[in-house]
């Protein structure tokens, strides 16, 4: 059953437009990105944007979801692929500097700084939950390693998970400040040494 596709067809590629929106939000954050900025960057009128994505907040929420899959997913992949928590941490610290300083992409991380300077408690809460869920995921992996005897029993899984995500936050922020890939590589290597 093919969809009817009645009415005037959309004149732009929705996925391509969403990707442009992601990069704009990534670069400037939710609040500093105006609807006018979006319509100019996406090359469409405001009514088209609202028709295709709802309102600004819905567009941002969708941008977050796709960003997390497309650009920020290296953390989830490391946790899924690596057999041990420390292996996942090592891989994340090894990949993060490159991820946060890619050419032709904004520096830093949308999930870390996307809610910067926003008053909307919904946006702030949404991103806080996303950040906390990464801490939870790391803590769970650490807990499993403790149970399996691969990590000492006296360490706190949540604290170590929080440290790891917190160090990544620091890396992302440093990248936004223009710190070079090479320096971030060194910083990430130091950060891993805190692990038991």
Tell me which stretch binds a copy of itself (CB under 8 A): 14-22, 63-71, 146-154, 178-186.
178-186
Tell me how far the alpha carbon of residue 129 is from its chain's centroid: 12
- Whole-number minimum distance, CB 117 to a copy of itself, in Å? 2
Burial classification of residue 104, based on how many CB atoms lie within 10 Å of its CB (0-12 exposed, 13-18 middle, 19 or more buried): exposed
163 binds, among a copy of itself, DNA, none (CB under 5 to 8 A by kind): a copy of itself
Residue 35 Cβ vs a copy of itself, minimum distance, rounded to whole Å: 15
Structure tokens at 103: 């050419």
- Tell me which of DNA, a copy of itself, none is bound by residue 3, counting a contact when its beta carbon lies within the kind-specific cut-off of 5 to 8 angstroms: none
Query: Interface with a copy of itself includes 186 (CB under 8 A)?
Result: yes
Smallest gap from residue 45 Cβ to a copy of itself (A)? 23
Check residue 21 for interaction with a copy of itself (CB under 8 A).
no
Q: Answer positive or negative: Cα dihedral of 125, 127, 130, 134.
A: negative
Could you tell me the two tokens for 31?
């609040």
Hey, is 120 helix, strand or coil?
A: coil
What's CA 166's distance to the chain center, in Å? 13
Q: Which residue has the tokens 């990069």?
A: 23
Q: How many residues bind a copy of itself (CB under 8 A)?
A: 40
Is there a contact between 12 and 43 (Cβ–Cβ < 8 Å)?
A: yes
Interaction with a copy of itself in 131-150: which residues (CB under 8 A)?
A: 131-132
Residue numbers at the binding site for a copy of itself (CB under 8 A)? 28-32, 112-113, 116-119, 128, 131-132, 156, 158-160, 162-163, 165-171, 173-174, 177-179, 183, 186-187, 190-194
């Amino acid at each position: 059953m093919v969809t009817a596709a009645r009415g005037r067809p959309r004149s732009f590629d929705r996925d391509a437009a969403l990707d442009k929106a992601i990069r704009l939000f990534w670069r400037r954050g939710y609040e500093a990105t105006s609807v006018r900025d979006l319509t100019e960057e996406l090359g469409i009128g405001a009514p088209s944007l609202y028709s295709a994505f709802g309102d600004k907040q819905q567009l941002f929420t969708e941008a977050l979801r796709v960003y997390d899959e497309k650009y920020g997913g290296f953390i989830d992949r490391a946790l899924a692929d690596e057999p041990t928590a420390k292996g996942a941490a090592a891989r994340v610290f090894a990949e993060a500097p490159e991820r946060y300083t890619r050419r032709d992409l904004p520096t830093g991380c949308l999930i870390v700084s996307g809610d910067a300077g926003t008053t909307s408690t919904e946006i702030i809460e949404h991103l806080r939950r996303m950040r906390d869920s990464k801490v939870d995921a790391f803590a769970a992996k650490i807990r499993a390693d403790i149970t399996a005897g691969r990590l000492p029993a006296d360490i706190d899984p949540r604290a170590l998970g929080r440290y790891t995500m917190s160090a990544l936050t620091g890396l992302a922020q440093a990248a936004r400040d223009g710190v070079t890939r090479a320096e971030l590589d060194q910083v990430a290597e130091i950060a891993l040494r805190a692990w038991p």
